[in-house]
Amino acid sequence: MLDRESAREHVLEAAEELFYGRGIQTVGMDAVRDASGVSLKRLYQLFPSKEELVLEFLRQRDARWQRALADYADARPTPEERITAVFDWLYTWFSEPDYRGCAFINSFGELGAVSHEVAEQARHHKKIFHDYLAGLVAAAGHPAELADRLALLAEGAIITAAIFGTPEPAHQARDAARLLMQMS
């Protein structure tokens, strides 16, 4: 029998794969139980409701996503290169075989109208991303409003890549970001 932390990890891994791959509303707790190997009783002890499981899935994904992006972009030597590295990182993400777009946009689309907490988690994720871009823009000495434009480019690329099944929108957005930086 798994200890509490191991069981929790198994449940969250299964939930992430299922929620991201199939959508939240189509996945029941029975499917999470089956995929995780954790009994339904234990699953509900760990997460008393599906919404609590969804929120924890989103919190963990947010932390992992933000950390991976920052690790990649912050490794670049200049502020300008860090900005364009954001879009290179997006290209890598979009190239993953299971890429289905942004889990936060998807979750908001599915549950944002009925779950205030899911909507807030999606807003939080987008705000943290925007704030990260704003920090990069400030470090590069560009006007603050450039961060808004870069965020729109990135968000558009995220959606377009998912819809068309190609990572190329990341390169197109990177090229547009370069032009915007030259103009500012």
What pLDDT is stored for residue 1 in this prediction?
73
What pLDDT is stored for residue 149 in this prediction?
98
Looking at the fold, whether 150 and 102 belong to one and the same domain comes out as yes
Reported as a pLDDT band with limits 50, 70 and 90, residue 2 is confident
How many structural domains are present in the chain?
2
Looking at the fold, whether 87 and 140 belong to one and the same domain comes out as yes
Looking at the fold, whether 176 and 153 belong to one and the same domain comes out as yes
Of 9, 27, 48, which marks where a domain is finished? 48
Question: What is the C-alpha to C-alpha distance for residues 90 and 23, in angstroms, rounded to an integer?
Answer: 21
What would the mean pLDDT of 129-153 be, rounded to a whole number? 98
Model confidence at 133: pLDDT above 90? yes
Looking at the fold, whether 61 and 119 belong to one and the same domain comes out as yes
Q: How far apart are the first and last CA of the chain?
A: 59
Looking at the fold, whether 40 and 8 belong to one and the same domain comes out as yes
Looking at the fold, whether 64 and 104 belong to one and the same domain comes out as yes
For 7, the domain range is: 1-48
pTM exceeds 0.85: yes
Burial 106-116 (b: 16+ CB within 10 A, else e): bbbebbbeebe
Looking at the fold, whether 24 and 68 belong to one and the same domain comes out as no
What would the mean pLDDT of 53-57 be, rounded to a whole number? 98
What would the mean pLDDT of 31-59 be, rounded to a whole number? 97
Question: What is the C-alpha to C-alpha distance for residues 111 and 15, in angstroms, rounded to an integer?
Answer: 16
What would the mean pLDDT of 44-59 be, rounded to a whole number? 97
Q: Among 1-5, 48-52, 69-73, 149-153, whose mean pLDDT is lowest? A: 1-5
**HEC profile of 89-115:** HHHHHHCCCCCCCCHHHHHHHHHCCCC
Looking at the fold, whether 107 and 179 belong to one and the same domain comes out as yes
Model confidence at 50: pLDDT above 90? yes
